């Protein structure tokens, strides 16, 4: 078995080489919030954080993540307390069907870590690695800006 | 509207959707996420040919594979035709004939998805190749290969009124068009899967579907056994736009599970979703339109082809441009549904509006240019407003009879409050165009037809406006029903079989019930997917959810309320007439607090039921008690959108700079939900206008861009994040609290707005999708 | 059916080539692995062994000295993207990376992997060709250098042999004067593969004379092309004498080298027309960056 650190805890996955990280997270660990749609790195639904960087887990082998820290959507909330980004997506309704939402939230986390006070245009470009087929984009941009605001408040509180 | 006039407490509020936390925490489960214990995994064996008949199937190699469980072939399948809603599919589950590359030929089951896929590859099928046809014009010819027993083409669906030759004679200007539309693909984020599990002679089907009841009907038809033995548990889906109604792979799952006597899950890959399930039709409009020197339209003459692919069977598509532009003039629209050896085509969001509707808009624009009227004014002059006649319904010769029969069958006293039939009951585009042009600053930005608003180097900017209309659901396949149950603690549950594809129905239906019952949204829960508890419902299609199901949900709540008030009157209010009572904040109150100032919680009223002489139990269930008026004959939704684009005339690349969406869906139930839905439609429409199209191999009809690398979907930075949605609310006399439908008019409006903006920037009309190459080619052709 | 494979990690270039030698031709290198994982899933490649070289941190660098810019093969596209303020050529390369795939792919994908994938539509390659870059290829026998132009051998084919590893890209900087470069492409949505592209690099000496012009044409042949005759038509001219008309002529000469095909993304005719426009615009942009007025 291979040991990964997922959402702060060590976990075991199969040590098969020929499996993607997305498959391991969904099938071995039951983390269904890792959404897989296109399976070719285009849609961004399967985005997870690997050592705090956003990556499309469908284009990464599970074994490549060995020894790395992985965060999935399941690791964002603290019990019933939603992460400010999740809260912001709810408040601005930055989603419709919700399938792309976990990937977008993780992309947002990485994006805001690098650019905590972005402009709307920067957000718009920064979120372009995730497709929202329902077309919630303008509300996604608002949600990310709102999240920046909420996180800023949390940081200064 | 009587009691609707009282202050609304839930309707109109931008409340968070009920599944918001599930969505942002990733815990909501879609079709692909579900599993049942000990299930097998299925994989469909697909046809490699455009048209072929199976002569032999050899599964011996697959059977030797460790983990192989079983195979389903056409020989196992009852040879019954089943139909998806609106004839989106009509045919047998498997009949040994492949009608397009990728068609379902057989299915295998194995212990894992990988083994199932490998087993499918190892199934050796011998085919007798049949001649194939991919072009709908060729498919109409008498010697064309016949794809279906019914023939490739059926009687055209026609709409006509007035006297077209008289309209032609009265025309000072005439334009003609011949426009081909490529197929848009649903490109569903989220894919889909279906689990079927048999318990004795009952089957349970778990899949993402917008139409749970129709899916149950389809299984009933395919298998030929009682509806009571079929349970569908429809799950939320990813984006759907009409893709996930009832699909053949769901029927295959049911039959495969029966054959192997084990639960089975078939999960489709992204490519299967894009290449083998369904698509928007390829369409072609030929026709002409005219107007007089004042810009009043005089006639419409259109002949429109829609390519249904292998299993689509549509010939009565509602094209609501006919209504929207039908205020003046004489009309004749003929629509021909044709089958080809291409993947099945069916209803996709704004079916017809995005194609024939765009053709009519383009012709109207060309007439407006000839007369010298700006596009906003031309639309105001020629589009319908409340009270105007609806041409579509007035002349639906094949369905009008049924509508008339239905109307006659409803007792006179139940019809007295109905709006006037065959005329638009509320709304229209005029207020949208006025409001929108002001918000967009249209009058000062408009520089004239084919005149850029800005030119620099190879860059040209242009503005455009477009409009769209659609029905708010349709009654012809049955009346959508809903049931409301009031629990002993005073909380309520709605049972309404609608879709959860992101349009917020799980929230807005509950809001309607909460409003009617005087509860908060939190006190009302909803079951949308389980056909064992939900009454028959048309589902979420044809923009019917808020209008027709919302009406049923409200009527069911009204029925609950009436029962509740009757009991309360008897038990707590000295047997006053129940009509003197009302509900408020979960309590029954008297309309005149001076007479009775007590407030009785619902739970107290329900508690009385336990031992009450009325003999009921401690919950109340309600259903609609009156027939719904035939809303297709009077209710429409409208959208108007304004866009500015920038075109690089050397490379043909288009950038969207500015966008405004104005929407008339009657009363807005949840502005947050509706804004999102309207913008989503504008983005999907814009995608269709500039990039999205399926590219087929001309020799085989196989899809060549069944992936998201080369099937281009707009991304966040491709669409202006500054886009605003403005509502113009003209309450509807029938819809719940004045609400109407919403999802489809806004997709059509954006398409025409962008097309017109590109024309104004470049001076050239470009057929859709306006890809860089097509733009350059059109500009070159115009200058040649 | 996707191939089954085992997974190994290499900690150094020597280890990587030793593993390649040990496992034979069906062992394949995963740098970032984004193209490899995709091609494996699409059954375009069938590895039996995956050799993951992400741990070779000694190849993860971007260095600048007087002679030029060295980009280690394991530098991610994201780190190239973030190197923009270190040199104006890196600014230009950073702008290119922003066009490549999604932010999530760029964090994983590497410069070396992108080159070794040898896509005719690759974004960095035409710029590297225009900049006259060379690559260093490692093997057990030592390192060898190959020009960027000669590196590409066909679609998904490169000069890297069965037991070799791409080590570094080197972009020379001029001894005298400065080089300015530009890259233009035709794309559809903001995340896309280039339908066609073109790049130009123009060196102007301290005497104000154009001393060197490099051109790179992408997605118009199985490999990236250059256009020495077109470059020569501009070399030797004074910056102040350059006109739009002249650049248009140079671009037209260069575009003659293109041998585009028609596919789902674009027709041969469109590619042929656009490569000329992309080259012209790249040249105009490079000249403008030098302060030339057109």
Contacts of B238 in chain A (CB under 8 A): 37, 97, 99, 133
Question: What backbone torsions phi and psi does residue B506 show, to the nearest 5 degrees?
Answer: -65, -20
Beta-carbon separation of B712 and C190 below 8 A = no
- Taking one residue from B and the other from C, the number of pairs with CB-CB distance under 8 angstroms is 40
* CB-nearest partner of C52 from A50, A64, A126: A64
Question: How far is C-alpha B101 from the geometric centre of its chain's CA atoms?
Answer: 26
Residues 8-67 of A with CB under 8 A from C: 15-18, 20, 39-42, 44, 47, 50, 53-56, 58-61, 63-64
pLDDT given at position B595: 83
Beta strand pairing call for C6-9 and C49-52: parallel
Across A91-95, B2-6, B563-567, least confident range: B2-6
Pick from A75, A107, A132: which residue ends a domain? A75
Which structure tokens are listed for B696? 């087929």
Compute the mean pLDDT over every residue in chain C, rounded to the nearest whole number.
97
Which pLDDT tens digit goes with each residue over C65-104? 999 999 999 999 999 999 999 999 999 999 999 999 999 9
**Chain C interface mutation, best of A64, A68, A131, A141, highest count of C Cβ atoms under 10 Å:** A64
CA distance B68 to B81: 29
CA distance B513 to B552: 10
Residue count of chain A, please give it.
157
Residues 6+ apart with CB under 8 A from B647: B459, B460, B461, B462, B653, B654, B655, B758, B761, B762, B775
* CB-nearest partner of B715 from C191, C193, C277: C191
pLDDT given at position B314: 85
Which structure tokens are listed for C8? 């190994």
- Taking one residue from A and the other from C, the number of pairs with CB-CB distance under 8 angstroms is 91
Angle between helices C244-255 and C268-289 (to 10 degrees): 140
CA nearest B550: which of B509, B491, B494?
B509
* CB-nearest partner of C104 from A39, A64, A107: A107
Q: How confident is the model at residue B615 (pLDDT cuts 50, 70, 90)?
A: low
Look at residue B781 and tell me whether its pLDDT is greater than 50. yes
Question: What's the farthest any 2 CA atoms get from each other in chain B?
Answer: 88
Contacts of C5 in chain A (CB under 8 A): 17-18
Which structure tokens are listed for B623? 């259903």
Angle between helices B745-762 and B671-690 (to 10 degrees): 40
The segments of chain C whose pLDDT lies below 50 read none
CA distance B130 to B123: 21
pLDDT given at position B397: 44
Minimal Cα distance from C35: which residue of A?
A59
Pick from A51, A75, A99: which residue ends a domain? A75
**B48 at C interface, C-beta within 8 A:** no
Which pLDDT tens digit goes with each residue over B681-709? 999 999 999 999 999 999 999 999 999 99
CB count in 10 Å sphere of residue C42: 13
CA nearest A22: which of A11, A10, A33?
A33
Domain match, A69 and A102 both: no
Residues 6+ apart with CB under 8 A from B477: B85, B86, B214, B538
Chain position carrying tokens 């994982």: C37
CA distance A29 to A34: 10
Beta-carbon separation of B721 and A137 below 8 A = yes
Domain match, A38 and A71 both: yes
**C61 at B interface, C-beta within 8 A:** no
What is the CATH number for A65?
A: 3.10.20.30
Which structure tokens are listed for C38? 């995709």
Average pLDDT of the residues in B27-46? 97
- Please count the CA atoms within 13 angstroms of the CA of C273 that sit on its side-chain side: 14
CA distance A62 to A26: 11
CA nearest B519: which of B90, B3, B11?
B11
Cα dihedral sign, C72-C74-C77-C79: negative
Which pLDDT tens digit goes with each residue over C98-123? 999 999 999 999 999 999 999 999 99
Q: What percent of chain B has pLDDT over 70?
A: 97
CA distance B500 to B626: 27
CB count in 10 Å sphere of residue B577: 10
Q: Which residues of C touch A (CB under 8 A)?
A: 2-7, 30, 33-34, 37-38, 40-42, 49-50, 52, 54, 78, 98, 101-105, 107-108, 190-191
Which pLDDT tens digit goes with each residue over B536-574? 999 999 999 999 999 999 999 999 999 999 999 999 999
**Chain C interface mutation, best of B651, B705, B712, B715, highest count of C Cβ atoms under 10 Å:** B651
Domain match, A37 and A93 both: no
pLDDT given at position B334: 93
Average pLDDT of the residues in B436-459? 98
Q: What domains appear along chain C, each with residue ranges and CATH number?
A: 6-52 (3.30.43.10), 58-172 (3.30.465.10), 178-289 (3.30.390.50)
Beta-carbon separation of C274 and B705 below 8 A = no
Domain match, A69 and A127 both: no
**C290 at B interface, C-beta within 8 A:** no
**B121 at C interface, C-beta within 8 A:** yes
Pick from A48, A75, A102: which residue ends a domain? A75
CA distance B628 to C14: 78
Domain match, A58 and A97 both: no
Q: What domains appear along chain B, each with residue ranges and CATH number?
A: 2-28+476-622 (3.30.365.10), 34-132+186-277 (3.90.1170.50), 282-337+351-472+635-783 (3.30.365.10)
Which pLDDT tens digit goes with each residue over B193-250? 999 999 999 999 999 999 999 999 999 999 999 999 999 999 999 999 999 999 999 9
Minimal Cα distance from A98: which residue of B?
B23
Chain A: nearest CA to B102, how far in angstroms? 18
Query: Is there a contact between C67 and C53 (Cβ–Cβ < 8 Å)?
Result: no
CB count in 10 Å sphere of residue B580: 14
Chain position carrying tokens 């303008």: A138
Angle between helices B671-690 and A137-156 (to 10 degrees): 130
Residues 6+ apart with CB under 8 A from B416: none
Q: How confident is the model at residue B2 (pLDDT cuts 50, 70, 90)?
A: very low
Q: What percent of chain C has pLDDT over 90?
A: 99
Domain match, A107 and A45 both: no
Residue A155's SS3 state is helix
Query: Is there a contact between B422 and B632 (Cβ–Cβ < 8 Å)?
Result: no
Which parts of chain A fold into alpha helices (H)?
Answer: 21-23, 84-91, 101-114, 120-126, 137-156
pLDDT given at position C120: 97
Helix (H) or strand (E) holding B337: strand B330-338
Domain match, A40 and A105 both: no
* CB-nearest partner of C190 from B117, B718, B777: B718
Q: How confident is the model at residue B617 (pLDDT cuts 50, 70, 90)?
A: low
Contacts of B679 in chain A (CB under 8 A): 135-139
Q: For residue A11, what are the domain limits?
A: 2-75
The number of folded domains in chain A is 2
What is the CATH number for A129?
A: 1.10.150.120
Domain match, A93 and A65 both: no
Domain match, A150 and A125 both: yes
Query: Is there a contact between A96 and A134 (Cβ–Cβ < 8 Å)?
Result: yes
* CB-nearest partner of B26 from A73, A91, A137: A73
Query: Is there a contact between C271 and C259 (Cβ–Cβ < 8 Å)?
Result: no
Neighbours of chain A (3+ CB pairs under 8 A): B, C
Domain match, A23 and A42 both: yes
Chain B: nearest CA to A2, how far in angstroms? 21
Chain B: nearest CA to C15, how far in angstroms? 33
Domain match, A148 and A93 both: yes
Give the single-character DSSP code of B350. S
pLDDT given at position B739: 98
Query: Could you give the dihedral angle defined by the CA atoms of residues C120, C122, C123 and C125, in that order, rounded to the nearest 10 degrees?
Result: -70
Minimal Cα distance from B18: which residue of A?
A90
Contacts of C3 in chain A (CB under 8 A): 18
Chain B: nearest CA to A149, how far in angstroms? 18
Query: Is there a contact between C89 and C179 (Cβ–Cβ < 8 Å)?
Result: yes
Query: Is there a contact between B776 and B669 (Cβ–Cβ < 8 Å)?
Result: no
Residue B348's SS3 state is coil
Look at residue B588 and tell me whether its pLDDT is greater than 90. yes
Look at residue B742 and tell me whether its pLDDT is greater than 80. yes
Contacts of A110 in chain C (CB under 8 A): 103
pLDDT given at position A90: 98
CA nearest B646: which of B465, B458, B778?
B458
Query: Is there a contact between B559 and B625 (Cβ–Cβ < 8 Å)?
Result: yes
pLDDT given at position B616: 53
Minimal Cα distance from C2: which residue of A?
A18
Contacts of C33 in chain A (CB under 8 A): 59-61, 64
Task: Give the N- to C-terminal CA distance of chain C in Å, as an integer.
Answer: 56
Residue count of chain C, please give it.
294
CA distance B277 to B193: 12
Q: What percent of chain B has pLDDT over 90?
A: 89
Beta-carbon separation of A63 and C104 below 8 A = no
Contacts of A130 in chain B (CB under 8 A): 715-716
Which pLDDT tens digit goes with each residue over B384-428? 999 999 988 654 544 556 677 778 888 999 999 999 988 999 999
pLDDT given at position B3: 40
Minimal Cα distance from A16: which residue of C?
C6
Q: How confident is the model at residue A110 (pLDDT cuts 50, 70, 90)?
A: very high
**B653 at C interface, C-beta within 8 A:** yes
Domain match, A68 and A114 both: no
Query: Is there a contact between B691 and C188 (Cβ–Cβ < 8 Å)?
Result: yes
Beta-carbon separation of B691 and C277 below 8 A = no
Beta-carbon separation of A53 and C107 below 8 A = yes
């Amino acid at each position: 078995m291979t040991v990964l650190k997922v959402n702060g805890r060590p976990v075991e996955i199969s040590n098969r080489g020929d499996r993607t990280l997305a498959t391991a997270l969904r099938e071995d660990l039951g983390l269904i919030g890792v959404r897989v749609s296109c399976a070719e790195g285009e849609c961004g639904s399967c985005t997870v954080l690997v050592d705090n960087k956003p990556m499309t887990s469908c284009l990464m082998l599970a074994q490549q993540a060995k020894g790395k820290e992985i965060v999935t959507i399941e690791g964002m909330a603290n019990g019933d307390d939603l992460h400010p980004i999740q809260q912001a997506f709810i408040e601005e309704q930055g989603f419709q069907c919700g399938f792309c939402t976990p990937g977008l939230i993780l992309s947002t986390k990485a994006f805001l870590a690098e650019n905590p006070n972005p402009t709307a245009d920067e957000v718009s470009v920064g979120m372009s690695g995730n497709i929202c087929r329902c077309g919630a984009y303008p509300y996604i941009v608002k949600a990310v800006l709102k999240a920046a605001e909420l996180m800023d408040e949390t940081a200064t509180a | 509207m009587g009691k609707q006039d009282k202050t609304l407490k839930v309707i109109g509020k931008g409340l968070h959707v009920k599944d918001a936390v599930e969505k942002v925490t990733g815990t909501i489960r879609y079709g692909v996420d579900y599993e049942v214990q000990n299930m097998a995994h299925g994989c469909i064996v697909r046809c490699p040919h455009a048209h072929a008949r199976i002569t032999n199937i050899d599964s011996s190699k697959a059977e030797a594979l460790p983990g192989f469980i079983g195979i389903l072939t056409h020989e196992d399948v009852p040879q019954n035709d089943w139909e998806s809603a609106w004839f989106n599919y009509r045919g047998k589950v498997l009949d040994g004939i492949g009608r397009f590359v990728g068609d379902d030929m057989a299915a295998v089951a194995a212990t894992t998805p990988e083994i199932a896929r490998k087993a499918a590859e190892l199934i050796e099928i011998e085919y007798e190749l049949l001649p194939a046809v991919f072009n709908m014009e060729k498919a109409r010819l008498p010697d064309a290969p016949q794809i279906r027993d019914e023939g490739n083409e059926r009687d055209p669906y026609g709409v006509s009124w007035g006297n077209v030759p008289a309209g032609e004679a009265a025309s000072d200007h005439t334009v003609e068009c011949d426009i081909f539309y490529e197929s848009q693909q649903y490109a569903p984020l989220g894919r889909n899967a279906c689990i079927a599990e048999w318990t004795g002679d009952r089957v349970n089907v778990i899949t993402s579907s917008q139409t749970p009841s129709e899916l149950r009907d389809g299984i009933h038809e395919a298998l030929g056994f009682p509806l009571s033995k079929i349970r569908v548990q429809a799950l939320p889906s990813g984006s759907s736009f009409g893709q996930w109604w009832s699909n053949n792979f769901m029927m295959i799952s049911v039959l495969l599970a029966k054959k192997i006597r084990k639960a089975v899950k078939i999960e489709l890959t992204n490519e299967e979703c894009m290449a083998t399930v369904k698509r928007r039709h390829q369409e072609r409009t030929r026709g002409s339109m005219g107007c007089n020197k004042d810009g009043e339209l005089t006639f419409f003459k259109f002949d429109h082809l829609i390519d249904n692919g292998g299993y689509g069977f549509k010939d009565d598509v509602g094209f609501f441009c006919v209504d929207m532009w039908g205020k003046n003039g004489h009309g004749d629209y003929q629509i021909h549904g044709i089958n080809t050896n291409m993947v099945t085509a069916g209803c996709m969001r704004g079916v017809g509006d995005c194609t024939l509707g765009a053709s009519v808009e383009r012709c109207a624009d060309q007439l407006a240019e000839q007369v010298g009227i700006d596009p906003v004014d031309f639309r105001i002059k020629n589009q319908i407003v409340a009270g105007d006649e609806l041409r579509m319904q007035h002349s639906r010769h094949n369905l009008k009879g049924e509508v008339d029969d239905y109307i006659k069958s409803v007792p006179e006293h139940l019809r007295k409050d109905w709006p006037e039939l065959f005329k638009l009951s509320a709304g229209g585009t005029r207020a949208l165009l006025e409001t929108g042009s002001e918000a967009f600053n249209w009058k000062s930005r408009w520089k004239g037809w084919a005149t850029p608003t800005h030119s620099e180097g190879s860059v040209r900017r242009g503005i455009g406006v477009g409009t769209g209309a659609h029905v708010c659901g349709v009654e012809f396949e049955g009346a959508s029903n809903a049931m409301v149950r009031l629990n002993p603690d005073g909380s309520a549950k709605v049972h309404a079989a609608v879709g959860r594809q992101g349009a917020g129905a799980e929230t807005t239906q509950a809001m309607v019930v909460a409003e009617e019952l005087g509860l908060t949204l939190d006190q009302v829960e909803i079951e949308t997917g389980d056909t064992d508890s939900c009454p028959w419902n048309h589902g979420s299609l044809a923009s019917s959810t808020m209008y027709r199901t919302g009406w049923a949900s409200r009527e069911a709540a009204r029925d609950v309320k009436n029962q509740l008030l009757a009991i309360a009157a008897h038990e707590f209010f000295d047997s006053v007439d129940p009509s003197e009572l009302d509900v408020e904040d979960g309590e029954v109150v008297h309309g005149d607090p001076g007479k009775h100032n007590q407030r009785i919680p619902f739970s107290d009223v329900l508690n009385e039921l336990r031992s009450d002489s009325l003999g009921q139990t401690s919950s109340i269930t309600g259903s609609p008690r009156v027939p719904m008026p035939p809303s297709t004959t009077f209710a429409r939704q409208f959208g108007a959108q304004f866009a500015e684009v920038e075109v690089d005339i050397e490379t043909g690349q288009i950038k969207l700079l500015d966008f405004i969406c104005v929407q008339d869906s009657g009363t807005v139930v949840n502005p947050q939900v509706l804004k999102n839905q309207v913008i989503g439609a504008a983005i999907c429409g814009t995608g269709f206008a500039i990039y999205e199209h399926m590219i087929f191999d001309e020799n085989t009809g196989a899809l060549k861009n069944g992936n998201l690398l080369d099937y281009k979907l707009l991304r966040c930075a491709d669409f202006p994040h500054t886009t605003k949605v403005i509502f113009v609310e003209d309450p509807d006399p029938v819809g719940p609290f004045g609400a109407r439908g919403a999802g489809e008019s806004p997709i059509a409006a954006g398409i025409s707005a962008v097309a017109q903006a590109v024309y104004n920037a470049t001076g050239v009309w470009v057929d859709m999708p306006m890809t860089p190459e097509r733009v350059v080619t059109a500009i070159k052709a115009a200058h040649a | 059916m996707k191939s089954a494979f085992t997974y190994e990690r290499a900690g150094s270039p020597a280890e990587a080539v030793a593993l390649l030698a040990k496992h034979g031709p069906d062992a394949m290198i995963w740098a970032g692995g984004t193209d490899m994982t995709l091609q494996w899933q699409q059954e375009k490649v069938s590895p039996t062994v995956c050799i993951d070289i992400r741990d070779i941190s000694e190849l993860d660098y971007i260095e600048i000295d007087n002679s030029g810019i060295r980009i280690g093969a394991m530098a991610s596209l994201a780190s190239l993207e973030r190197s923009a303020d270190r040199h104006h050529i890196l600014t230009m390369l950073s702008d290119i990376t922003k066009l490549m795939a999604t932010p999530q792919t760029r964090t994983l994908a590497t410069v070396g992997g992108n080159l070794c994938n040898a896509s005719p539509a690759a974004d960095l390659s035409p710029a590297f060709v225009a900049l006259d870059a060379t690559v260093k290829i490692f093997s057990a026998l030592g390192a060898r250098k190959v020009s960027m132009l000669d590196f590409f051998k066909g679609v998904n084919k490169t000069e890297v042999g069965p037991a070799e590893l791409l080590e570094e890209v080197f972009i020379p900087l001029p001894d005298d004067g400065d080089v300015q470069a530009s890259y233009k492409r035709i794309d559809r949505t903001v995340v896309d593969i280039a339908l066609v592209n073109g790049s130009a690099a123009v060196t102007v000496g301290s005497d104000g004379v154009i001393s060197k012009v490099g051109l790179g044409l992408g997605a118009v042949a199985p490999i990236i092309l250059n256009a020495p005759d077109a470059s020569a038509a501009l070399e030797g001219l004074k910056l102040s004498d350059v006109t739009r008309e002249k650049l248009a002529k140079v671009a037209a000469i260069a575009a003659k080298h293109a041998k585009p095909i028609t596919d789902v993304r674009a027709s041969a005719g469109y590619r042929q027309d656009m490569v000329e426009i992309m080259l012209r615009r790249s040249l105009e942009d490079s000249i403008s960056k030098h302060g030339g007025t057109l």
